[in-house]
Amino acid sequence: MEENSVNESPMEFNNRVDLTKLQDAVERIKLELGKVIIGQEQMIELLIISILANGHSLIEGVPGVAKTVTAKLLAKSMDVEFNRIQFTPDLMPSDILGTSIFNVKTSEFEFKKGPLFSNFVLIDEINRAPAKTQAALFEAMAERQITIDGAAYTMQPPFLVFATQNPVEQEGTYRLPEAQLDRFLFKINVDYPSLEEEVTILMSKHEQKTKNQEDLIQAVLTAQEIAEYQETIKEIIVEDNLIRYIAELVNATRTNANLYLGASPRASIAILDASKALAAINGRDFITPEDIKKVAPAILAHRIILTPEREMEGLTPDKMVAQLIESIEIPR
């Protein structure tokens, strides 16, 4: 009897979804990036979540805090096609989407694809290009296709956009329109490193000497594996009370007197998908309220607009989201 009671112990738990390979892949990615990137654990984790959740990410921070390097090396840790586009004030939509060129031999126009046709696209300083160029990304980011001259061109999966931007207060930047921001799963704010992290950065740079940091990164994941893990994420279990918790949290942004604009249903879906990815990274096949609370700030803050009065009083979107999270009762 004793032996049976031990075998049937309620403390034993087996995941209904096998997450072993996924967890191992995430750890290998973190190890590769750790060869070059010092600190910035939150940015790296959110970027990995965005890949698993099949969502785009916007990275904001002052110049020199490894925004571009991290996104570039993350793409290099995966065996996928990668393009980088530097946004400038004179960049035209055709420069990123492509253009039709007349073929003299066939006497027909042929579409020459632009750099946006890739698996991972790094858009550097996205807010330095005018609105018409930013708008050219809308269809590609939302529907994974581009329509030009009446013909639709499908983006090869996985298709993910990592964009960096400098704070909008800096000279020469354009504020991204709300419709553009809503297409980003995350907006990741990157701060300066701590003193100890900066010392480590300098020591690491000194020890590398003439080594190219990109050469230190090896590809540990294929496009096929990424697609498989994105499908695995969809199997993560979500209880009904947590779905309601997400809906209540997003709905609170639409009824708050301090907000001029609340979050859309796209934000609700984003929180659901990102929570599933976070749970999977942590080896769970079910999400918890803590998963939701952890991913919500990076999803909601860029989707809400404060009233002018509250903005003048010093309230920020980040503080507002923190208040909303605390105001919603956690399901038990």
Task: Tell whether 225 and 280 lie within a shared domain.
Answer: no
The answer to whether residue 7 sits within a structural domain is: no
pLDDT averaged over every residue in the chain: 88
pLDDT at 136 over 90: no
CA atoms within 13 A on the CB side of 271: 30
Q: Across residues 110-136, what is the average pLDDT? A: 89
Do residues 330 and 262 share a domain? yes
pLDDT at 35: 85
Domain boundary among 190, 215, 233: 233
- Residue 4 pLDDT more than 80? no
DSSP annotation of 191:
P
Same domain, 178 and 289: no
Same domain, 312 and 213: no
The count of domains in the chain is 2
Say if CB 208 and CB 201 are below 8 A apart: no
Cα(276)–Cα(279) distance, rounded to whole angstroms? 5
What is the average pLDDT across 314-331?
93
Mark whether 51 and 179 lie in a shared domain: yes
Token match 């009824």: residue? 255
Structural domain includes residue 10:
no
240 and 192, same structural domain? no
* pLDDT, tens only, 47-98: 999 999 999 999 998 887 888 888 889 999 999 999 999 999 899 999 999 9
| Closest by Cα among 76, 162, 159 to 117 | 159
Question: Is 181 within a domain?
Answer: yes
Q: What is the CATH number of the domain that holds 247?
A: 1.10.8.80
Domain boundary, last residue among 233, 258, 276: 233
Q: Are residues 229 and 246 in the same domain?
A: no
- DSSP 8-state code for residue 85: E
If asked whether residues 174 and 262 sit together in one domain, one would say no
Q: Which residue range(s) make up the domain with 243? A: 236-332
pLDDT, tens digit (0-9, with 9 covering 90-100), for 224-239: 999 999 999 999 999 9
Average pLDDT of the residues in 263-284:
96
Q: Tokens 């639409």 appear where?
A: 254
- With a cut of 50, say whether residue 268 has pLDDT above it: yes
Q: What pLDDT is attached to residue 12?
A: 47
Q: Are residues 248 and 220 in the same domain?
A: no
pLDDT for residue 332 is more than 70: yes
Q: Residues 202-212: what's their mean pLDDT?
A: 75
Model pLDDT for residues 10-36, shown as the tens digit of each residue: 444 567 878 899 999 999 999 999 888
Question: 261 versus 109: which is more confidently predicted?
Answer: 261
pLDDT confidence of residue 171: 63
User: Strand pairing partners for 56?
Assistant: 184
Taking the C-alpha atoms of residue 127 and residue 167, their distance in angstroms, rounded to an integer, is: 9
304 & 173 share domain: no
pLDDT at 10: 41
Domain boundary among 211, 233, 255: 233
275 and 161 housed in the same domain? no
- Among 8-12, 313-317, 325-329, name the one with the lowest average pLDDT: 8-12
